[in-house]
A and B are shown apart, each in its own frame.
Chain A
Amino acid sequence: MIEDLIRGSLDHCVKCTICETHCPVSRATPLFPGPKYVGPQAERFRSGDVSPDDSLDYCSGCGICTQVCPQGVKVAEINSRARRTLKESRGIPLRDKIISRPTLSARLATPVAPVANWSLRNKLIRAAVEKTIGVHRRAPMPKFAGRTFQSWARKHDAPRLDRSVVYFHGCSTNFFEPDLGAKTVAVLEHNGFNVIAPRGQGCCGLPLQSNGLFDDATGYVERLVAKLAPYAREGYDIVATSTSCGLMLKREAYEILGMESDDLRVVSERMYDICEFLLDLQERGELETDLSPVPMKVPYHVPCQQRGHEMGKPAVDLFRLIPELQVVDTQRACCGIAGTYGLKKEKYDIAMEVGRHLFEDVTRMEPEVSVCDSETCRWQIEHGTRIRSVHPIELLHRSYEL
């Protein structure tokens, strides 16, 4: 039913081209003619597994087109669904099946993190990987931390506080950025929240979804929401530091995967992006404001998937509370990576071109760090600028002096 609503929304398209003016990919490459052309226009010619053209595969799925459409056409969702059909009819490459399962590779790599990290940064190995499966040799790869957030959380000596919140940390915090998780817990505890981090949180399925593997993605979402739903039913809010994974459970599982389940519904109603959650606290006068000066000037990039939450830029609003912190909103559309898009051999250069202006802006400022809510975007921005990129929580954590 939801599928009909999504596809049916194309009848609202008045061909105004506003989506085209905002598409970050079509401005970087002629291989992608733009969201209106590939979406509402081409969709009329699609039936079954017949698709009028292959350019669809060059859509990065950033979702900006849907956000800016004044007529409510679900351009990105139409395209994601059509891309799945296209990819299935052509056969999904092995590469896409591998890079869309970060939890699996991370589980294997974590115990042998030094070796894994070395291999991912070894030129010869990367060249071979590019040749055999088509992951670009220069594409940004995160570093395995060698320990998990969950192992930290188990040992963490939590204070006893009145209120509780559930932390959906996602795979990246668990395997690549456990420190971000610890800082998030500290910031929440400082604000009087006991943090519950349910064990065994698997992947949200987003990378699978964006690579067209809808059935697998649906299975991942089902398992994950089954873990989180009991807490939501008890009335706990759930916060996510991974803005794209949070969005997957808020919206994309319905609108792209076409899922409908009770577990999913209760979880999405309770799901908050961490900055959204903290800003809501602030608006209710409940946020701790013992923030000390952070005398820095930093560039901030709002990731596309964060825009999909349709909540503005809560990180920027929180930064205004930190004395002496100067945040420059780069106002650039996209960093290019779009999850796994920029890893692919044939798309790496496009992704780098999409992000070029952002990288130039950041580099020109010579900041200590740049700030961005999404992990894959941070890795891409670091790759494009050689400057460390951090989650907004890092600055709050610093300002609270925790």
Chain B
Amino acid sequence: MRDVLVMGMGTSGLVAALRCQEAGLKVTLLAKGVGSTHLAPGTIDVLGYDPELVENPSEALPRFADRNPEHPYARIGADVVARSLEWFSERFDGYRYTGSVDENFLLPTAIGSIKPSTLVPETLAAGDLRKGGRLLFVGLRQLKDFYPALTAQNVANAKTPSGADISARAVQIEPPISGEADVTGLALARKFDDPGFLDAVATQISALVDGDEAVGLPAVLGLRRPREVWEGLQEALGRPVFEIPGLPPSVPGVRLHEILVAQFESAGGRVVVGAEAVGADTEGDRVTAVRVAAAARIKPFVARHFVLATGGFGSGAIEMTSSWKVRENVFDLPVMGVPADGQRFSPRYFDRQPMGRAGIRIDDSLHPLDGSGRRLYANLTVVGACIAGSEAWREKSGEGISLSSGYKAATTVIEEAM
């Protein structure tokens, strides 16, 4: 008998599934497709703006949760956020993450803006701009998604809290790639896995670096063996090297996904990809089965516990019809915080968007609630982007919420199952 069915394989679902499986439960991870790991930069951003820049998330979180009682962090709790980050860091040994809940890195994005991130792949960390520094941004001519001159110019003008001096310049190299019409970041990452290719790139860059510059490249430094590639390049250049995440497909995100899936499967977890949860069977306050559309038929997946990790509007977990009806697609859970007519959207894209906060309301153990605060299902927990109350892209909190809620849902499930 299956103990747990996790729906969705973004960060939140992967984390919940892996923790439950490793606690000895029998877990099936079901997803209609791959999650947003492949699109997001692979960093765990806990809280970047409140609304001012946050330098220390562990200090800011309790205050933030007090002021935003409907925010997921108010349900999850700052201590759980901290524990989930530690748990996460320990998952990675070859390819490591670095950072702690006590500080935010300030990392350059591909367009040269700076973004606060809490836990980051080690391969990104030397891009930290808090103390300023001299940076050389290196473009790879075949990669049309990264313009080092744009990055360098904007980074050089960036303002950090310390006001430290940043200097930045850009160069292009042309790595040895023959005959390929359209090279994606992922294709380049696979090439970097080949030591010969890495040597050729290192030789070209060493002719261009100057003084004590740190070297930034698009985040394509290897897929299967990124640690060796990154260390190899640092050694060859004799200076810090860092990656800058850019347009999808996100190589650091793919690494994250592949590492967690492999850990889940080697712990004995089952993965079912391509099948969509389309409904549920319930009895009173318990879910008995989720109905899953696979090839040729709809199959009931029976389990003792269910974790809803299907994401938000972006992944189709929550949908709005042309008549403004908002619906959660598997359990038809009530969607909270849907703004009234006339207040749904702000005219400017990057303004606060009330609709973005709509989602499922949860209690402190992440069970879903109805409008009057009554728990709807005792064996269903809700995690990640489908929880109501956050504006992840403004707060820079998306992966932080996903990780910590996935972690906490596993705690709930493990306690209830054991």
List residues of chain A with CB under 8 Å of any chain B CB: 16-18, 20-22, 26-27, 30, 33-34, 37, 66-72, 247, 250-251, 268-269, 271, 283, 307-313, 316-317, 320, 329, 331
Contact = CB atoms under 8 A, between A and B. Distances in A.
Interface in B273-331: 273-276, 293-297, 302, 315-316
A70 B32 contact: yes
Nearest to B275: A310
A39 B67 CA distance: 47
Given A250-B296, A312-B272, A70 B249 contact: no
B196 interface: no
Kindly list the 4 A-B residue pairs having the minimum CB-CB distance in the complex, ordered from nearest: A70-B33, A250-B296, A67-B274, A310-B294
B294 A21 contact: no
B38 A311 contact: no
A269 B273 CA distance: 20
Nearest to B28: A312
B252 to A, nearest CB: 12
A302 to B, nearest CB: 10
B274 A331 contact: no
A70 B272 contact: no
Contacts of A329: 265
B33 A20 contact: no
> Max chain B CB contacts within 10 Å: which of A16, A34, A251?
A16
Nearest to B311: A70
A17 B179 contact: no
Contact of A27 (B31, B190, B297): B190
A312 B249 contact: no
Given A250-B296, A269-B296, A72 B33 contact: yes
B268 interface: yes
B303 to A, nearest CB: 11
Contacts of B190: 27
Contacts of A16: 38-39, 248-249
B110 interface: no
Contacts of A268: 296-297
A303 B323 CA distance: 43
Contacts of B248: 16-18
B341 interface: no
Contact of B38 (A18, A250, A283, A312): A18
Contacts of B35: 70
27 contacts: A16-B39, A16-B248, A16-B249, A17-B249, A18-B34, A18-B39, A20-B186, A21-B249, A27-B190, A33-B181, A68-B274, A70-B31, A70-B36, A71-B316, A72-B32, A72-B316, A247-B295, A250-B296, A307-B274, A308-B274, A308-B295, A309-B295, A310-B272, A311-B275, A312-B28, A312-B273, A317-B270
B270 A17 contact: no
